[in-house]
Amino acid sequence: MNNLGQKVIYQIYPKSFYDSNGDGVGDIPGIIQKLDYIKKLNVDMIWFNPFFVSPQNDNGYDIADYYKIDPRFGTMADFEELVKKLKEINVGVMLDMVLNHCSTENIWFKKALAGDEKYRKFFYLRKAKPDGSLPNNWQSKFGGPAWAKFGDTDYYYLHLYDPTQADLDWHNPEVRKELFKVINFWRSKGVHGFRFDVINVTGKAEKLIDSTDPVEEKSLYTDTPVVHKYLKEMNAATFGQDPDSVTVGEMSSTTIPNSIEYSKPSEHELSMVFTFHHLKVDYKDGQKWTKTPFDFMKLKKLFTEWQEKMDQGGGWNALFWNNHDQPWALNRFGDTGKYREKSAEMLATATHLMRGTPYIYMGEEIGMMDPHYSSMKNYVDVEAKNAYQELLQEGKSQEEAFEIVKTKARDNSRVPMHWNDEKYAGFSQVKPWLMPTDQDKINVENELTHGEIFDYYQKLIKLRKSEKLISDGHIKMFLKDDPQIFAYARYLDDSDQKLLVFTNFYGEGCCAELPKEYQNKKCKVLISNYDEQSDKLDALISLKPYEVLAVVID
């Protein structure tokens, strides 16, 4: 399985990592300048968010040219140097492939607009209904209808996201051929990792029918059977030819059976899947733009289902709390005050010791948290601005709407990396594209000198590389009804040894009775964030606030 269980992947949002040329935007030479830090991290691969030519209407997920580096991020020579230098420290490169849609600035769309029949077939072009209404009633994920007028023709084009992101029609073999060419171009540059953006919405039907409600609507274009066929074809034509390729699909609203098929090695589709159900447990009534405490029992249930069933089916999970589309997990599931360090370590342990491949989002390893913004003027993301307006239209006051946006905005995790405590966090010499806050107390310099979170992550990464129970083991949850403790066991088929992992998700101490099979067993502490020394488990387990205890028993 390509040692997937031993790998740890780090995510860099290039725009916010390090600005080398003083324009307020992070760039590729900036990443090269921080290679010492990357080496210290001890990760195996870096996933980079897109740095291809783009109008940046959706932060680079609207690609105008799949073959060129956007000048704001550097040159192709910079990219080649980055790949070479990362290879020297044994770090692979994972690029973000946005293949469901392209920018309306892309040459394919421009040729289609100019009337080129070949390229018109690259997109979902449909005429209005006889009554003059839109081709169907689908909604864009960014709000408003999913259709926009196609130039001055009688047609509309489908955009599941921003109107400047036109969906590509994967039914057309020419489209697939062009997209596979893109992957192979980057493979020829030494890239063996690929993350596929919203790849499971590529299976839309040829006849695009009206939906009856939002839930049913998603099912009309998400996770349809043809997606598996497309992925198998893509695998065979591109990365499947590399024995060391690592791929991950971002799977919107997916299911366990589909995810098993996407990631099971014998299916020849992808290495693993990103799923998001666990990051919706603080959505009131399933709605993102709400403010409500997370539902711990629901979180446990989701982790239990996904971990155990993916294991039983032979699928593989990407493990993560944070990315460029999520507010910081520390604000959502931890404590940004008194227990910032302990809760950051607890959250890391909960996922890093599970079955799958862990991802660390830049800044997570120093305990970064949501910025303290005071007005909507501080935000730049189109989604947050649209949501704010919609909340006002629903009758929320400006204060209420702002409080909700503050807890859920994608910009929260897009703030520049805090390198030191300077005015712009050591990210740039000039005012950055998005302002940092809290860098006076949370920054790399401070963390490496006095902190404990970075060191703790190092221990977790080392354990994953050295302990077969973690990299290769099966998983079974226990203490399922406990209102504070999330606990699981890792085990191998050919050994009596078990790894027991206990995490307290709250700022109060707690205790629970262990299952009989684990009581009064000799144990060895593998990791703890309170320096626990114990050589025996009693009948009861007691944990301090946000405590982690991972022990091996025979």
- Name the residues annotated as catalytic: 197, 250
Write the CA distances from 399 to 238, 374, 424, integer angstroms: 50, 10, 27
Cβ count within 10 A of residue 31: 26
**518 CB-near residues (< 8 Å, 6+ apart):** 478, 489, 498, 500, 537, 553
How is 167-221 classified by DSSP, letter by letter? EB-TTSHHHHHHHHHHHHHHHTTT--EEEETTGGG----SS-PPPSSHHHHHHHH
β-pairing verdict for 246-250 and 272-274 = parallel
Contact yes or no for 431/24 (Cβ under 8 A): yes
Give the C-alpha separation, 221 to 331, whole Å. Answer: 33
Give the C-alpha separation, 284 to 391, whole Å. Answer: 14
Write the CA distances from 530 to 147, 454, 503, integer angstroms: 54, 15, 12
Cβ count within 10 A of residue 541: 23
Contact yes or no for 447/362 (Cβ under 8 A): no
Contact yes or no for 67/185 (Cβ under 8 A): yes
Query: Six-digit token pair at 347?
Result: 């959250």
What is the sign of the dihedral through the CA atoms of 371, 374, 380 and 381?
A: positive
Query: Is 17 exposed, middle or buried (CB count within 10 Å of its CB: 0-12, 13-18, 19+)?
Result: buried
3-state secondary structure 479-539: CCCCCCEEEEEEECCCCCCEEEEEEECCCCCEEEECCHHHCCCEEEEEEECCCCCCCECCC
Cβ count within 10 A of residue 23: 14
Which residues pair with residue 48 across a beta bridge?
Answer: 12, 95
Give the C-alpha separation, 318 to 7, whole Å. Answer: 11
**What letter does residue 6 receive in the DSSP assignment?**
G
Give, in degrees to the nearest 5, the angle at Cα 497 between 491 and 498: 50
Element (H, E) at 540: strand 540-543
